Structure formats: structure tokens, C-alpha cells
């Protein structure tokens, strides 16, 4: 579940995780303001390519450094 806060009215709501692959828009249930798309939420939650690259480089450096 993703917790989303509306910047317009401050309302809180949750978006279900099972429908994250659909590009469906998520609107505030109180004021109707557009908040995000389900696809954007799933991309935000996935680890970034930059972080993955840094972690792999660090692991490779540890393996290649003589003890």
C-alpha cells in the first residue's frame, strides 16, 4: 500500500499495490485533485539504477581488493 497526501486539501489516502501496473490516474477522494499515476508510484518505489550501480561497484571493489 502506498500512502499519498493531497497537496491541495491535505487529505490522506492509500493506493492499492495490486493495480500498480495499470497507468490509471489517482485522484484525491476529497477534492478530486490529480495526485499521481499508479505506474509512477511503482517506479518511485523501485530501487534506482544509480543506487544499484553504486552497490555493485562497491561489491566488486571489495572482491578485487587483496586482503
List the chain pLDDT tens, one digit each, 67 residues: 678 888 889 888 887 655 545 568 888 889 989 888 888 877 777 778 888 899 899 999 989 988 6
* CA-to-CA separations, 66 to 13, 25, 50, 54, 61, in angstroms, rounded: 52, 52, 26, 20, 10
Q: How many domains does the chain have?
A: 1
Q: What is the pLDDT of residue 20?
A: 47
Q: Whole domain around residue 16: which residue ranges? A: 2-64
CA separation for the pair 15, 13 (Å, rounded): 7
The pTM assigned to this predicted structure is: 0.52
Amino acid at each position: 500500500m502506498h500512502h499519498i497526501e493531497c497537496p491541495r486539501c491535505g487529505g490522506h489516502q492509500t493506493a492499492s499495490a495490486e493495480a500498480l501496473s495499470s497507468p490509471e490516474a489517482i485522484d484525491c477522494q476529497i477534492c478530486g485533485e490529480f495526485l499521481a499515476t499508479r505506474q509512477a508510484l511503482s517506479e518511485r518505489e523501485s530501487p534506482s539504477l544509480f543506487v544499484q550501480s553504486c552497490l555493485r561497484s562497491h561489491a566488486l571493489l571489495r572482491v578485487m581488493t587483496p586482503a
